[in-house]
Amino acid sequence: MSEQSVPILRVEGFTKHFAEVKANTDVHLDVRAGEVHALVGENGAGKSTLLKMIYGVYRPDAGRMLIDSTPVTPGSPAEARALGIGMVFQDLRLVPALTVAENVALSIPRGPMLNLRRVIREITAESEKHGLSVNPRALVQHLSIGERQRLEILKVLMTGARLVILDEPTSVLAPQEVSALFGVVAHLRDQGFGILIVTHKLNEVRAIADRVTVLRAGNTVLVGVEPADYTNDQLIESMVGRAVPPLVAERVTVAKGEGSEPALRISGVRSKGDHGHEALKGVSIDVYPGELVGIAGVAGSGQRELCEVALGLRATTTGTVSICGVPSRTPASAIRAGAVNVPEDPVADSVVARLSVLEHMALDGRALPRKRLGIDWAAVRTRTHALNEALGLRIAPHHRRVSELSGGNIQRVVLTRELGIHSSLVVAAYPSRGLDVANVRRTQEILLDRRSSGSGVLVVSEDLDELMSLADRIVVMHDGHISGEVSANAFDRQHIGRLMLGGAA
């Protein structure tokens, strides 16, 4: 990377406000040819708004953008692509029922007649040039997540992009797929492309980025600095605005002798997914009181269905589920047995938009305090205040409607409600999703506290580093099966990654 090179992209003073929400204020950023530039910041820091202005989805209220020193104002993604800007979104924009070549043809229209043979030749040439191995004739639904991501990058390159934006590209990849992706990114950098990568994982910043820019509350607090010049603690403090103490997790080995009753026992369970396919294929897993078991796997391996079966939210075709030795097949029986649930998508699965924060906090499965013929809302407020103080997740004011809250604020309400009461079993799917660094750390501490108090804790996470820092055991899923199990004293990223991709234990 040349220090004196003219940036492909320069953003100067970008500002974007939505009514009272100051999404970006006087943001500065530049990306040079032949470099990887990481953009980091908390959820709600303004990263998405900044990307959308660069990519032509939003127009800035103030500031300007330059491509190769020429001021430009893309009014749409199509105009951004014409300027050489390509973006790979976190949620991949592919049609599963079509082939690789047909998906590429959709993104690069070539007139009224589709010459699929020509598209296949172009894909083959471009994939060989950039080391993006993809079979042009394969159906997208048969590709792995890593292969789908390579296809998205290939689509971007075939539109003529010189600046490639990667939005949280590793969030659903196994370690081997992350290594392969970073190999592609390094190759593109060597070919003179500018790469802007959005991530929240500082180990990835250090592994691939030449420079890093930090956003906090819509402002740039560090602009284009070299990662080696800052410690992780300094980068985290710049993202959060305060120091965040390290997580201390003591490992435990739970005795599982005769008479030891699991907090959760799933035995030989098979279950259908939402589309009628078999999502769980003879799964067996035990979680004992006083241990935290992590579930790892690439997206769609059966993690969601496993959690729902454990809590009686999804029917089984064969097999049994018990909580503390009591058979459980319905949500009511799971609640009676002492189970609590942090769902994968709280917005869709755990909240009623028109209700207030206080009303949601009353729906924790416990008997409601009564006052004459109604609910004693003063007692509910007192109980909620006590939980908020004890857990320290700082939920939104009681009167706010949940429909007015961000995803991270909704997550904090659900975490406080579910983790604030005594439970025999905690099932938490992606508990850190949408939270800032400080609240991620606090949530992890609460999960460890629940384990220490004797609860069995089952945690699903897309962040393998999080699981390795918390879990006493990691159970790995692949294609609806348990592909292996690893204890804390044998955690190894590459080994777990092989299991995530279906390799032998």
Q: Please indicate, yes or no, whether residues 66 and 135 belong to a single structural domain of this protein.
A: yes
Domain count, the chain: 3
Q: Please indicate, yes or no, whether residues 364 and 226 belong to a single structural domain of this protein.
A: no
Contact 418, 334 (CB under 8 A): no
Which helix (H) or strand (E) segment is 124 a member of? helix 116-130
**Is 245 among the domain residues?**
no
Per-residue model confidence as pLDDT tens digits over 384-423: 999 999 999 989 888 888 888 877 888 999 999 999 988 9
Q: Please indicate, yes or no, whether residues 429 and 415 belong to a single structural domain of this protein.
A: no
Q: Is 504 exposed, middle or buried (0-12, 13-18, 19+ CB in 10 A)?
A: exposed
Q: Please indicate, yes or no, whether residues 219 and 361 belong to a single structural domain of this protein.
A: no
| pLDDT of the residue at 374 | 86
Contact 28, 220 (CB under 8 A): yes
| pLDDT of the residue at 367 | 79
**Is 444 among the domain residues?**
no
Q: Please indicate, yes or no, whether residues 287 and 154 belong to a single structural domain of this protein.
A: no
List the one residue out of 237, 194, 205, 212 whose CA is nearest residue 39: 212
Q: Please indicate, yes or no, whether residues 332 and 353 belong to a single structural domain of this protein.
A: no
Q: Please indicate, yes or no, whether residues 179 and 42 belong to a single structural domain of this protein.
A: yes
**Is 257 among the domain residues?**
no
Contact 295, 415 (CB under 8 A): no
| pLDDT of the residue at 175 | 87
Q: What is the CATH number of the domain that holds 275?
A: 3.40.50.300
**Is 80 among the domain residues?**
yes
**Is 17 among the domain residues?**
yes
Q: Please indicate, yes or no, whether residues 17 and 100 belong to a single structural domain of this protein.
A: yes
**Is 439 among the domain residues?**
no
Q: Please indicate, yes or no, whether residues 233 and 381 belong to a single structural domain of this protein.
A: no
Q: Please indicate, yes or no, whether residues 355 and 471 belong to a single structural domain of this protein.
A: no
Q: Please indicate, yes or no, whether residues 121 and 270 belong to a single structural domain of this protein.
A: no
Q: Please indicate, yes or no, whether residues 334 and 351 belong to a single structural domain of this protein.
A: no
pTM of the model: 0.81
**Is 249 among the domain residues?**
no
Residues spanned by the domain of 485: 262-338+424-434+455-505
Mark which of 422, 443, 463 sits at the end of a domain: 422
Q: What is the mean pLDDT of each run of 10 residues along the chain (505 residues)?
A: 74 93 94 97 87 95 96 95 93 89 85 81 91 90 87 92 93 84 94 94 93 96 97 93 82 65 97 91 96 93 95 96 96 94 85 88 82 88 92 90 83 92 94 85 95 96 91 96 93 92 76
**Is 134 among the domain residues?**
yes
Contact 421, 432 (CB under 8 A): no
Collapsing DSSP to helix, strand or coil, 389 comes out as: helix
- Full strand arrangement of the beta sheet holding 326-327: 278-287, 264-272, 318-323, 326-327
